[in-house]
């Protein structure tokens, strides 16, 4: 394949090769994602691409590689169906997917996923296409989009345990990687966090502060992460002689954290420690505690989970369990590109370790 853009004065493969001190063929291999190139050479080529301002000719390259040089970043869930939407019309319920997308963009978690994906793809001359799959029709559109080659594969973030999209993608034989272990086993690679270990860190920290009347605001209990964080917290507390831990289920939103904290205070007014299964719920809990005249951490210590922007927005700043979302999203993307390079390779999983970040709330 030749690069005929020299006449236009734009950077060419030869310009990149000269800047990197390698051959034109090596530059081509790096840009096209060939795996067996020395990492030092890859980095030299990428720096040369940045310095020269070279932009690959996507149309010409796709004819050779039969790749779209794009991946679908799919936020999926078991949302309201069209028929239910019609029935909900006039009741104030939103069935057009707007509430789903609003919830996605309101959660700092998804922004961190996008950051990790984009930062990994950009140096490789690829880009993500953001798609939402909150209904059966939207899921069909995602599968069709992948089948027709508009994207080379899918990075799937499911928001609901009953999400059928991972199974649909697997059945269609399409390349995909999931963020988080699926609720039901499917032959698709995924990245995840050791959630129980993270909850153990939260429990041990509260116990170390002297908290003896603790409660927890769990995540949705139909989501594996919500179940695992609750199990890890309860088990650790039981191992330290605290067999009963009050639990109120939340939905990973600030509003649900506020409602849960109101209920916990009404039923257990003497509590002195709270573990919320994500930072948004912890933020809501801190708001309610202040409204009830409880100081944080003087009267009630609060620990969150994720180490998101909500942790820093909280007053006082949240002690939280860090989930390295950006690194996990980058690894998810790497696994997908590896799958595209080796379609017959085995499915795999990568589990990241949590870390306690101590700030002012506990």
Average pLDDT over residues 61-88: 60
pLDDT reading at 102 higher than 80: no
CA angle 339-341-344, nearest 5°? 60
pLDDT higher than threshold 60 for residue 90: no
Rounded average pLDDT over 337-347: 91
Share of the chain above pLDDT 70, in %: 86
Task: Spell out the alpha helix ranges (H) of 21-79.
Answer: 24-31, 39-52, 58-65
Q: For 184-222, what is each residue's pLDDT tens digit?
A: 889 999 999 999 999 999 999 999 999 999 999 999 998
213 CB-contact burial (10 Å; exposed 0-12 / middle 13-18 / buried 19+): middle
- What number is the average pLDDT over the span 142-168? 90
The rounded distance, in Å, linking the Cα atoms of 328 and 194 is 12
- pLDDT for 170 equals 92
> How does DSSP classify residue 299?
T
Q: What is the pLDDT of residue 100?
A: 66
pLDDT at 60: 47
Three-class secondary structure of residue 44 per DSSP = helix
Separation CA 144–CA 242 (nearest Å)? 52
Query: What is the per-residue pLDDT across 228-266, written as a single tens digit (0 to 9) for each?
Result: 999 999 999 999 999 999 999 999 999 999 999 999 999
Q: How many CB atoms lie within 10 A of CB 50?
A: 12
Percent of the chain residues topping a pLDDT of 90:
65
- Whether 284 and 257 have beta carbons less than 8 Å apart is answered as yes
Tell me what pLDDT residue 128 has.
92
Rounded average pLDDT over 173-188: 92
- Report the Cα 282 to chain-centroid distance in Å: 19
Residue 323 confidence (pLDDT): 97
Distances (CA, A) of 262 to 6, 209, 258, 299: 67, 23, 6, 15
Question: What does the buried/exposed string (b/e) look like for 218-229 if buried means 16 or more CB atoms within 10 Å of the residue's CB?
Answer: bbbeebbbbbbb
Higher pLDDT, 122 or 235: 235
Q: What is the pLDDT of residues 23-73, one digit of tens each?
A: 988 888 887 666 678 888 888 888 888 888 887 655 445 444 456 688 999
Q: Which two tokens stand for residue 220?
A: 């949705």
| 3-class secondary structure per residue, 258-286 | HHHHHHHHHHCCCCCEEEECCHHHHHHHH
Q: State both tokens at 19.
A: 């800047």
Q: How far apart are CA 309 and CA 254, in angstroms?
A: 13
Please check the confidence at residue 81 and state whether its pLDDT lies above 60: no
Residue 212: asked if its preceding bond is cis (omega within 30°), the reply is no
67's CB contacts (< 8 A; 6+ apart) are 61, 152, 340
How does residue 226 score in pLDDT terms, banded at 50, 70 and 90? Answer: very high
> What average pLDDT does the segment 123-134 reach?
89
Q: Which two tokens stand for residue 122?
A: 């950009």
Residue 63's pLDDT is: 40
Cβ neighbors of 31 (< 8 A, separation 6 or more) are 13, 45, 49, 56, 61, 125
Token pair for 35 = 């795996």
Could you give the angle at which helices 13-20 and 24-31 cross, rounded to 10 degrees?
A: 100
Tell me what pLDDT residue 266 has. Answer: 97
Report the pLDDT averaged over residues 352-360: 98
Are the C-beta atoms of 135 and 142 separated by less than 8 Å?
no
Question: Which residues are CB-neighbours of 111 under 8 A, at least 6 positions away?
Answer: 105
Rounded to the nearest integer, the mean pLDDT of the chain is: 87
Weakest mean pLDDT among 101-110, 220-229, 277-286, 299-308: 101-110
Give the pLDDT score at 32. Answer: 67
Beta bridge mates, 304: 320
Is pLDDT of 352 > 90?
Answer: yes
């Amino acid at each position: 394949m030749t690069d005929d853009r020299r006449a236009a004065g734009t950077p060419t493969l030869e310009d990149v090769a000269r800047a990197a001190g390698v051959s034109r063929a090596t530059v081509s291999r790096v840009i096209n994602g060939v795996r067996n190139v020395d990492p030092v050479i890859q980095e030299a080529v990428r720096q040369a691409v940045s310095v020269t301002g070279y932009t690959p000719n996507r149309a010409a390259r796709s004819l050779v590689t039969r790749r779209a040089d794009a991946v679908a970043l799919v936020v999926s869930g078991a949302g309201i169906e069209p028929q239910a939407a019609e029935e909900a019309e006039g009741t104030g319920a939103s069935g057009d997917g707007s509430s789903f997308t609003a919830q996605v963009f309101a959660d700092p978690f998804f922004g961190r996923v996008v950051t990790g994906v984009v930062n990994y793809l950009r140096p490789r001359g690829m880009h993500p296409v953001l798609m939402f799959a909150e209904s059966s029709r939207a899921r069909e559109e995602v599968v069709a989009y992948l089948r027709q080659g508009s994207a080379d594969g899918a990075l799937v973030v499911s928001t609901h345990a009953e999400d059928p999209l991972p199974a649909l993608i697997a059945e269609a034989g399409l390349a995909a990687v999931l963020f988080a272990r699926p609720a039901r086993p499917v032959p698709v690679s995924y990245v995840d966090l050791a959630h129980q270990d993270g909850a153990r860190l939260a429990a041990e920290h509260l116990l170390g502060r002297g908290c003896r009347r603790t409660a927890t605001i769990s995540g949705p209990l139909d989501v594996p992460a919500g179940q695992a964080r609750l199990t890890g917290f309860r088990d650790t507390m039981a191992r330290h002689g605290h067999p009963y831990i009050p639990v109120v289920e939340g939905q990973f939103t600030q509003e649900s954290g506020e409602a849960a904290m109101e209920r916990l205070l009404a039923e257990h007014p003497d509590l002195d420690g709270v573990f919320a299964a994500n930072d948004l719920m912890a933020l809501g809990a801190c708001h309610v505690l202040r409204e009830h005249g409880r100081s944080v951490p003087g009267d009630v210590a609060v620990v969150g989970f994720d180490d998101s922007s909500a942790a820093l927005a909280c007053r006082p700043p949240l002690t939280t369990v860090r989930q390295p979302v950006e690194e996990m999203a980058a690894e998810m993307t790497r696994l997908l590109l590896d799958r595209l390079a080796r379609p017959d390779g085995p499915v795999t999983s990568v589990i990241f370790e949590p870390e306690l970040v101590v700030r002012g709330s506990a």
